[in-house]
Amino acid sequence: KQAEFEQLKDLPAESLDGVRVRLMMNAGLRSDLPALDITNADGIGLFRTEFQFLVSATLPRKGRQVALYKDVLEAAADRPVIFRTVDIGGDKAVPYVDSEGDREENPAMGWRAIRLALARSGLLAAQASALLEAAAGRTLYLMFPMVTEPWEYEQARAIVEKRRRRLAAAGLPHAAEVKFGAMLEVPSLAMVLDELLPRLDFLSIGTNDLTQFLLAADRGNPRLADRYDWLSRGLLRFLKLVVDQAHPAGVPVSICGEMGGRPLEALALMAIGVERLSITPAAIGPVKAMIRSARLEPLKAKMAEWLATPGADIRALLTAEADAQGI
């Protein structure tokens, strides 16, 4: 199997009927970077910047942040890297930021991510400076985690833009351009997405968190593993609504949760029109092999039918279809 995936390395992630899927990888540490060339990923679709904060006993100074981001961009060369601003707080508490983590009953739904970043805006501004500086002369792709309301995105974006203007005015090196995105992890954002889409360069769906909030099933609780179901009709219908809204608005959608790294789940995503995935590096070979042996157009029609069929068992239907297609 491994040898088979090696052989696919330089071949495109393209289905038998010509759908080209962009396969990016998730990363968070320097040690993840060699995987870019090993897998020949199309870029980094999610760089979890909080890892540097989580492994540090003190707040990482700007110089250390810039050094890491530069190494990441250098390793990616001309491939895009989407940096996510820190998703700390909640259960990813760091001792040097006054967080509520250990006092919260539901830290996943607590004071974390963009919520904390807006309340401690100095932290976000410093990180923005580091990212803008590291991306000097190139495009910086930046997204914010756990956006619930469009105003949160606007405020965070304004903080970054202010920093960019400041660097420009001071004649300091900074990103040539910034592309802004939001992560869709909180279900209610989907209901006000029409207001946010005109302001987005891209949208990234974090299905790890989204699934737990949509299905009210803790992503880390093994007793709920069968309820935390990426192929549930509710979740797939929901994802399709988002994709069908974003694409006509010209906003590319990618999935950056673990769901996209499982071949059957990835196939379900292709079947609802997703064409960009950011997944764990080890999953790139298996998912690419799946894509290259699939016919997606007929599958899209079938998926639409299944999603409209009361009680349809998507996992069973999809497995049977994959077998029939010889995937």
Chain residues that interact with ligand PEP, rule: CB under 6 A: 46, 48, 87, 185, 206-209, 256-257
Beta-carbon count within 10 A of 107 CB: 18
| Crossing angle of helices 296-307 and 233-246, rounded to 10° | 120
- Asked whether the beta carbons of 240 and 272 are under 8 A apart, the reply is yes
What is the closest distance, in whole angstroms, from the C-beta atom of residue 175 to ligand PEP in the complex? 23
- Asked whether the beta carbons of 12 and 31 are under 8 A apart, the reply is no
Q: Does residue 206 touch Mg ion according to CB under 5 A?
A: yes
Compute the distance between CA of residue 124 and CA of residue 217 in angstroms, rounded to an integer. Answer: 30
Nearer to ligand PEP, 159 or 256 (CB): 256
CA angle 118, 120, 123 (to 5 degrees): 105
- Asked whether the beta carbons of 236 and 213 are under 8 A apart, the reply is no
What is the closest distance, in whole angstroms, from the C-beta atom of residue 18 to ligand PEP in the complex? 29
What is the closest distance, in whole angstroms, from the C-beta atom of residue 209 to ligand PEP in the complex? 3
Q: Does residue 209 touch Mg ion according to CB under 5 A?
A: yes
Which ranges of 215-280 does DSSP label H, i.e. alpha helix? 233-246, 263-271
Q: What is the x/- site pattern for Mg ion, positions 166-185, by CB under 5 A? A: -------------------x
Nearer to ligand PEP, 8 or 101 (CB): 101
| Crossing angle of helices 296-307 and 263-271, rounded to 10° | 80
Between the two ends of the chain, the Cα-to-Cα distance in Å is: 14
Compute the distance between CA of residue 169 and CA of residue 156 in angstroms, rounded to an integer. Answer: 20
What is the closest distance, in whole angstroms, from the C-beta atom of residue 220 to ligand PEP in the complex? 11
* Binding partner at 133 among Mg ion, ligand PEP, none, C-beta below 5 to 8 Å by kind: none
Nearer to Mg ion, 124 or 132 (CB): 124
Report the candidate in 261, 202, 257 with the shortest Cα–Cα distance to residue 235. 257
* Binding partner at 121 among Mg ion, ligand PEP, none, C-beta below 5 to 8 Å by kind: none
User: Nearest to Mg ion by Cβ — which residue?
Assistant: 209
Nearer to ligand PEP, 15 or 127 (CB): 127
Partners of 25 in beta bridges: 44, 279
What is the closest distance, in whole angstroms, from the C-beta atom of residue 273 to ligand PEP in the complex? 19
* Binding partner at 81 among ligand PEP, Mg ion, none, C-beta below 5 to 8 Å by kind: none
Nearer to ligand PEP, 3 or 216 (CB): 216
Nearer to Mg ion, 163 or 219 (CB): 219
What is the closest distance, in whole angstroms, from the C-beta atom of residue 173 to ligand PEP in the complex? 30
Q: How many residues bind Mg ion (CB under 5 A)?
A: 3
Q: Does residue 273 touch Mg ion according to CB under 5 A?
A: no
Q: Is the dihedral of CA 133, 139, 143, 149 positive or negative?
A: positive
